[in-house]
Structure 1
Amino acid sequence: MKKTSLPATPLSRLKLFFTFFDSRWEDLTKEGWAKIVYRDFSAGLIVAMTAIPMAMGFAMAMGMRPEHGIIAGALACVVGRTFGGSKYQVYGPTAAFIPIIAALIMKYGPANGGDFATAHSFLVLVSILAGIVLMIMGLFGFGRYAKLVPNSIIVGFTIGIAVAIALTNFEDILGIESFNDLLGQDEDIKGGFIHNYFNALDNLHKINVWSIFLGLLTFGLTKGLLRISIFIPGPVIAMGLATLLSATVLADKGIILVKDVYGSIPNNFFVFTAPALPGLSASVIFDIIYFVGAIVFVSGVESILCSTMADKLAKNDRTPFNPDKEFFGQGMVQIITPLVQGFPCTGALARTATSIKAGAATPLAGYFKAILKLTMAFYLAQYLELIPMACIGGILVWVASNMIKVSEIKEVKQHGKFEFSMMVYTAVMVPLTDFLTGVLSALVIYFVVKMAFKRRRQRANSVQTSN
């Protein structure tokens, strides 16, 4: 891979960031454009079919509506592919944002006496502020610093998020949310890891075995089909089969559907959502700092990791991704996407890998993905509301299972006991506390211990030199 000299001043960077046809399009040549367009279209189609159920699942896990995930995934890909720094990266809803957005929606939404509109408007506000911070960081060349986050903490953070996602979505698979709950006659089992765990124990008598069957069927079929070939849209097939079964042979088994929780899914996707404060207090100011910091951290780290992985997976031996432009693009994503019923998004590792394996070569694949995703969702909206919640739970547990990679754990272990212990610490603290507390405390411990080790070595070396 050839190295490129990045612009040295904010003004020169800004000029580059608004250059649409940059090096990301270098593979779209006059001689081979037809082949490249076909490859990008095929990749966009495969990712679009895979992304619809995943986007819906991510949105619902965040406390948002299903259509918000579809909108966010499509629009984020258009904005990210226009202003981002990677040829290959697919943008959309990611698991890392689930605990952050879910915490905000829970605190300012109906769960705590508020309303969803207020919580959503507040989410738009903190996302825009995070976007501005990311754009400034890109302009001043902060992209390279995202790589300084230790791999042990990144792997631990990923494991922690995976555990939290899996455990907080078992309620849908178990079917312990009855129709009475949905009508407000009982406590709804929603919330964080600890909250869901204890509520699940109190509601084991509500388990629906048919929901478990559909959840396990979705999980197993999705995993099995994608192992055969990434060209098979496993989540779509699994979702279709589960929906068919729930509408026919399992129609009278009390299975909860998406429409039972969220009502009808509209196909007038793009509705403007203005940013707003829920009131001004010390608590709100603290939450603004907290959520802006969390969105910036996840956006920066995950997008850089995803872009790095994409270049390696695609064997990109030409122009590598630009980390500063990627930060700027992420900022644009966080500003624009939430304004039209979306929410914060970043580079999606699994969908990026699928896109590359399906033949994607230029940002055109992302535009195809967005258009095809919205088109399919528009015509399928009336059917998407018939999907069993157990099916959504199965897809999210499948996502969680893919986030934990044995090879990454072994790699961290090879770097010593300290790195391994930091991975374990982060993996435990993220679901037990919250995202930012777990990650920031891990970073503080990591660098304090590293500084102590460094000083000890320096003192030892000085003693040896004096002797």
Structure 2
Amino acid sequence: MNKKTFPTTPLGRIKLFFTFFDSRWEDLTKENWLTIVYRDFSAGLIVAMTAIPMAMGFAMAMGMRPEHGIVAGALACTIGRTFGGSKYQVYGPTAAFIPVIASLMTKYGPSNGGVFETAHGFLILVSIIAGIILIIMGIFGFGRFAKLVPNSIIVGFTVGIALVIALTNLEDILGIESFSDLLGGQEESLSGGFIHNISTAFNNLHLINGWSILLGVMTFALTKILLRISIFIPGPVIAMSSATVLSATVLQDKNIILVKDLYGSIPNNFFKFTTPILPALDSSVIIDIVYYVAAIVFVSGIESILCSSMADKLANNDRTPFNPDKEFFGQGLVQIITPLLQGFPCTGALARTATSIKAGAQTPLAGYFKAILKLSMAYYLAKYLELIPMACIGGILVWVSTNMIKPSEIKEIKHLGKFEFSMMIYTAVMVPVTDFLTGVLSALIIYFIVKKAFKRRIQAQS
């Protein structure tokens, strides 16, 4: 089976979408099933160990609680591996969603006079609407249009998000925001967005904690070094465990802020049904619904297609490629179901997918193993996860941001010409300066207007 045999009608697509044993399982046979299951289990275990600290970090950066990240990652991966269009893709919390979700949680949460439950309920509402749109897009074959987004804008968007993540997590490494919030009793969101976090850092430089910096830098460096030695080493887990032991022993009296100081105990009854909430309807709320729905659809669509394409190349998949329409359908179900069970919007995770493939993953089984093992480990380790220093979370997220910026991709864009390179720079600057959707949409409008005008000029000259 190849790409040409994918259904081309809505009815045919729906039938395929609900076919569990499709071409994604073609590498699993009666002859090799034992080897494949072992490889998928090993890959799932490695990704699960790496994913726990990353999921917690992403959740806290979004203004959510640590356990929300654990739930979201496990549930999204289970749904995505069941209904998605890729053999290899690992689903979970991603950096691209941080500015989107953080801005919503800030606007409707405690930092703007609201409550967390209302903000999360509104997030659930817009995520469900986005999920329905993604399902419709998949049924009617819109997957192919995601590939039309220029690579220069995708790279610029990635660089912009990386800058936002790195700069907005400096307070945790410096021991500034969390310490000042504890002292002042402020009822602000702990992830108040780019401007809030930067201003907080500069206004509280006198509160810098050198020991927090040590733990943050150590977490960053150790993670980077260990993963450079071997992908099979769970670098984030070892780095955070080492820093946690230090903070609980020799650095116990150094005023280092821990996860439990800000979020209390981490419960291990992970799944809890949460309902969507619609705030008092006015023009501002309607605009926000449109904005956040569009943002979730865009991130889900672009990142999942990008991740699926990358996965096929990385795995040297010479058989059936990923199905973009089925991927949209799977993403839609992820965005509908995951937030309802104490999670938030998720998509294909580039780093975890690459780790899974390098660790030997062959079929969707790797994703199921990752989800089960992640929940199992988090269940038994919950009382220890709350002892992690916030500086470690900052160190992990800064490490994530540095991995997002790839010099080879920037060089590739530069070779495409000045216009493509300038669009990359424009997007990278506009994403942190304005907001995610404004930066990307304005870049797309400029790109296609200029391209169309340039094409007309060439046609006129000929």
The TM-score, its normalising length taken from structure 2, stands at: 0.98
Give the AA of the match of 2:19.
T
* 1:183 to partner: Cα distance: 5.2
* 1:164 to partner: Cα distance: 0.2
In structure 2, the residue matched to 1:124 is 124
Give the AA of the match of 2:441.
L
Distance 1:459 1:24, change over 3 A: same
In structure 2, the residue matched to 1:333 is 334
| 1:125-145 alpha-carbon deviations (Å, 9 max, x no partner) | 100000000000000000010
In structure 1, the residue matched to 2:313 is 312
In structure 2, the residue matched to 1:70 is 70
C-alpha separation in 2, matches of 1:4 and 1:225: 42
Deviates more, 1:380-389 or 1:180-189: 180-189
* 1:12 to partner: Cα distance: 1.0
Give the AA of the match of 1:106.
T
Residue 294 of structure 1 aligns to a residue in which SS?
helix
C-alpha separation in 2, matches of 1:190 and 1:203: 16
Contact persistence 2:63–2:192 (CA under 8 A)? no
Contact persistence 2:102–2:191 (CA under 8 A)? no
Contact persistence 1:144–1:324 (CA under 8 A)? yes
* 1:200 to partner: Cα distance: 1.3
Contact persistence 2:57–2:66 (CA under 8 A)? yes
Matched, 1:39 2:39: yes
In structure 2, the residue matched to 1:425 is 426
1:130-279 equivalences under 5 Å are 130-177=130-177, 179=179, 181-182=181-182, 184-185=184-185, 190-279=191-280
In structure 2, the residue matched to 1:108 is 108
Matched, 1:81 2:120: no
Contact persistence 2:171–2:178 (CA under 8 A)? no
In structure 2, the residue matched to 1:61 is 61
Q: Please, what is the CA RMSD of the aligned residues?
A: 1.1
* 1:276 to partner: Cα distance: 1.3
The TM-score, its normalising length taken from structure 1, stands at: 0.97
In structure 2, the residue matched to 1:22 is 22
Matched, 1:345 2:360: no
Contact persistence 2:133–2:332 (CA under 8 A)? yes
Give the AA of the match of 2:396.
I
| 1:412-461 alpha-carbon deviations (Å, 9 max, x no partner) | 00000000000000000000110000000000000000001000001001
Give the AA of the match of 1:207.
I
C-alpha separation in 2, matches of 1:137 and 1:246: 49
Residues paired across the two proteins, number: 461
Contact persistence 1:168–1:191 (CA under 8 A)? no
* 1:187 to partner: Cα distance: 8.0
- Structure 1 segments unaligned to the other structure (5+ residues): 462-467
| 1:80-133 alpha-carbon deviations (Å, 9 max, x no partner) | 000000000000000000000000000000000000000000000100000000
In structure 2, the residue matched to 1:372 is 373
Contact persistence 1:48–1:369 (CA under 8 A)? yes
* 1:182 to partner: Cα distance: 1.9
Residue 254 of structure 1 aligns to a residue in which SS?
coil
Percentage of identical aligned residues: 81
C-alpha separation in 2, matches of 1:56 and 1:46: 17
Contact persistence 2:85–2:325 (CA under 8 A)? yes
| 1:372-402 alpha-carbon deviations (Å, 9 max, x no partner) | 0000000000000000000000000000000
C-alpha separation in 1, matches of 2:180 and 2:90: 40
Contact persistence 1:71–1:342 (CA under 8 A)? yes
* 1:6 to partner: Cα distance: 1.9
Residue 40 of structure 2 aligns to a residue in which SS?
helix
* 1:186 to partner: Cα distance: 5.3
In structure 2, the residue matched to 1:436 is 437
Residue 4 of structure 2 aligns to a residue in which SS?
coil
| 1:222-258 alpha-carbon deviations (Å, 9 max, x no partner) | 0000000010000000010010000000000000000
- Structure 2 segments unaligned to the other structure (5+ residues): none
C-alpha separation in 1, matches of 2:92 and 2:178: 31
* 1:179 to partner: Cα distance: 4.4
Contact persistence 2:3–2:323 (CA under 8 A)? no
Residue 4 of structure 1 aligns to a residue in which SS?
helix
Contact persistence 1:86–1:322 (CA under 8 A)? yes
Give the AA of the match of 1:18.
F
C-alpha separation in 2, matches of 1:7 and 1:343: 31
Contact persistence 2:146–2:302 (CA under 8 A)? yes
In structure 1, the residue matched to 2:12 is 12
Poorly superposed stretches of 4+, deviation over 4 Å? 186-190
Distance 1:186 1:272, change over 3 A: closer
Give the AA of the match of 1:228.
I
